[in-house]
Structure 1
Amino acid sequence: MFTVGQETRKRPAEERGGPHGDHGLLRRLFTTMCRIRAFEEEALALRTSGEIPGVIHPYIGHEAIATGMCSVLDDDDWVGSYYRSHGHAIAHGCAQDVMMAELFGKDTGCCRGKGGSMHLMDLGRRFLGGTSIVAAGIPHAAGAALAAQMEGRGVVLSFFGEGATGSGVFHETMNIASAQSLPVVFVCENNTYQDHTRTEQVAPSTDFERFGLGHLMESQTVDGNDVMAVRRAATEAVEHARSGDGPVFIQAMTYLTYYHSQLGTPPLEYRPADEVAHWAARDPILLARRELVAAGVPAAELDRVEDQAAQETAEAVEFARRSPEPDLQEATTDVYVD
């Protein structure tokens, strides 16, 4: 399927690839997914209470995609995101305390309170950040991939929803990336809805892998709720891009547990009850937990993982609450990120 290039660098050997039965690896991925889930659930609660300003686009239900994809990256690699960015940031190693402070609009945030939920950025962690404009982060990721190509190091992951594929800049970027063999992996998180609209109502086909194939990229569709399946696809894709064989397109099929976004009062459920129930039974954390328990990992141990994730989020919230507000004189200045 993919031309395999040089082995992924700087990751411990036990974390590179491995069979589906590598439950030590699965436990680590489970831990990352729990950290994302805890952060997102608390962010939603704080948005509902009014303590966090602005809009929150929860990543709940998508955790396996960010976790599996980012788990194969090196220190030289970059991640580009969109407005649903918290999960990508955590999976790529961004600190929860400065992320939460950013959501609060505090001076200790990763963008000193000027980015908020939709515009998280941490260049120190090579996280290009999110953007509120649909598809706007895709060319940013390709630009980073061009820089990586020129420097001779690094691969870029570009995350976006399937709604972004209707944008002209998506196709322009795909064309350029393919023509110049850029080291970028395009990851389409297909959750079957574009805001409140079913994707088939606005697209002639809901199989977006065709766009990767149309731009002559290695392409595949993966179960976005199976974290090990995502990791296997990520391993092949990143090694392909790192070897100089050009970009890869991955369509990850998934579903949002809750809603597209929240501003104030949570919106009413607009999706069919049987559809929601079907996907709830395929929750990525639930699937990973079942596999770990079946392999002999005590449920109490996994409970402790979830409790620890909740504690980390609670500490991040307290850090944000204690942090100072930005100085009013800084309101019109640029954000400098080292």
Structure 2
Amino acid sequence: MKLAPLNTVQNAHDDSIWAAAWVPPTDDSGPLLLTGSLDETVRLWNSNGPDKLQTNTGHCLGVVSVAAHPSGRIAASASIDSFIRVFDVATNNTIATLEAPPSEVWQLQFNPQGTTLAAAGGGSASVKLWDTAEWKLIATLEAPRPEGLKPSERSGSKKFALSVAWSPDGRQVASGAMDGTISVFDVPRAKFLHHLEGHCMPVRSLVYSSAPLDSRVLFSASDDGHVHVYDAERKTLITSLSGHSSWVLSVDVSPDGAAIATGSSDKSVRLWDLKMRAATQILTSHTDQVWAVAFGPTLQTDVRSCLLASVSDDKSVSFYKYS
């Protein structure tokens, strides 16, 4: 497995780019890339070229997360203005505007079935769930404080939800927090299940494995410089991957489930072979910290390959071919 650099779009936004997500292909379009920036816009890219297709406005502060619906027809963006904008990908028309007080929404993710949108709820230390049929808030999943904390650690100042991920069957949600804990919830019962521990600093990114036999496996990226691999059901740490020299800001898993990619404030993108449990490639196309990495769907022309995108504080978007 390897990543082959394809193109880098310099000055893809007017400010730091903090978010990226692939829009699945539809009958009318191939896969598209969404990017969100501190310049308050969301941009849509065609990977052929690559070409900028449109710029979406509507937020009044920086965009920190973007997510695409499994249908490929709608998407959502979250800003530090505390609003989520849901829009039609083809027309850019706003479908819904969701408010998520009392503080910023830091990460969004649609469930695999497309029926629910989850948001990591910032200072509320919760995950908020919206029904995508009527865009109504249907649940707020609150994580209790881990047991065994000293009184000085119970203030809640560090309990801040940063990241969210759905299990492949859509029955569980995991959320990473500023204090390094990961909370796992049972969605149908709206119930907290358990914590996953091991990180000592903020957990900024989470993703479940895409491999059918590894659907319980959860990958986490943390400011402590490590990527952890958990069995999310059995509450066990399978392994810890290290190699980045600074914060790991993003992690995503390849469609074949054989590799993960990570982006870091050490300005690099790394490709990790999960069987070897080691980084097999280090890519340095960015000149500043890499806030997001995102694998696209498998290519129609080569089912063993897909695209990877990375975005950075250097305002650029880089594309790679994974094979």
The answer to which structure has the higher helix fraction is 1
Q: Tell me which of the two structures has the higher relative contact order, counting C-alpha pairs closer than 8 angstroms and 6 or more residues apart.
A: 1
Find the structure with the greater CA-based Rg: 1
User: What's the TM-score, normalizing by structure 2?
Assistant: 0.32
Q: TM-score, normalising length from structure 1?
A: 0.31
Q: Where is the strand percentage greater, Structure 1 or Structure 2? A: 2
